[in-house]
Structure 1
Amino acid sequence: MSATPVLAPVKGRAVPMEQVPDPVFAQLMTGPGAAVDPVREVVDVVAPVSGKLFKLYPHAFVVLTAEGVAVLVHLGIDTVQLKGEGFTTLVTEGDELTVGQPVTIYDVPAIEAAGRNPIVPVIALDKQAADLVLSGAVGSGADLTPTDTLFTVNG
Structure 2
Amino acid sequence: MSVRVLAPVAGTVVAMTDVPDPVFAGSIVGPGIAIDPDGAGEVDVVSPVDGTIVKLHPHAFVVVTADGKGVLVHLGLDTVQLEGQGFTLHAQEKDTVTAGQRLVSWHPTEVKTGGRSPVSPVVALEGTEESLSLAVEPGAQVVAGDELFTWG
Which category of TM-score, normalised to the shorter sequence, fits these structures? Answer: over 0.9
Residues 18 and 26 in structure 1, CA contact (< 8 A), matched pair in contact too? yes
Instruction: Name 2:76's counterpart in structure 1.
Output: 76
CA distance in 2, matches of 1:116, 1:85: 13
Structure 1: which 5+ residue stretches go unaligned? none
* Residues 60-84 of structure 1 deviation map (CA, whole Å, 9 limit, x = unaligned): 0000000111000000000001111
Residues 34 and 138 in structure 1, CA contact (< 8 A), matched pair in contact too? no
Instruction: Name 2:16's counterpart in structure 1.
Output: 17
CA distance in 2, matches of 1:27, 1:36: 16
* Residues 82-136 of structure 1 deviation map (CA, whole Å, 9 limit, x = unaligned): 111121111011100000000000111221122110011000001111111111x
Say whether 1:130 aligns with 2:130: yes
How many Å apart are 1:40 and its aligned residue? 3.5
CA distance in 2, matches of 1:52, 1:105: 19
CA distance in 2, matches of 1:75, 1:138: 20
Letter in structure 2 aligned against 1:35: A
SS in 1 for 2:137: helix
Structure 2: which 5+ residue stretches go unaligned? none
SS in 1 for 2:92: coil
CA distance in 1, matches of 2:22, 2:8: 22
- What TM-score do you get using the length of structure 1 for normalisation? 0.95
Aligned sequence identity (%): 49
RMSD, aligned CA: 0.9
Letter in structure 1 aligned against 2:69: V
CA distance in 2, matches of 1:85, 1:72: 20
SS in 1 for 2:30: coil
**Aligned positions of 1:59-138 closer than 5 A:** 59-135=59-135, 137-138=136-137
CA distance in 1, matches of 2:51, 2:117: 28
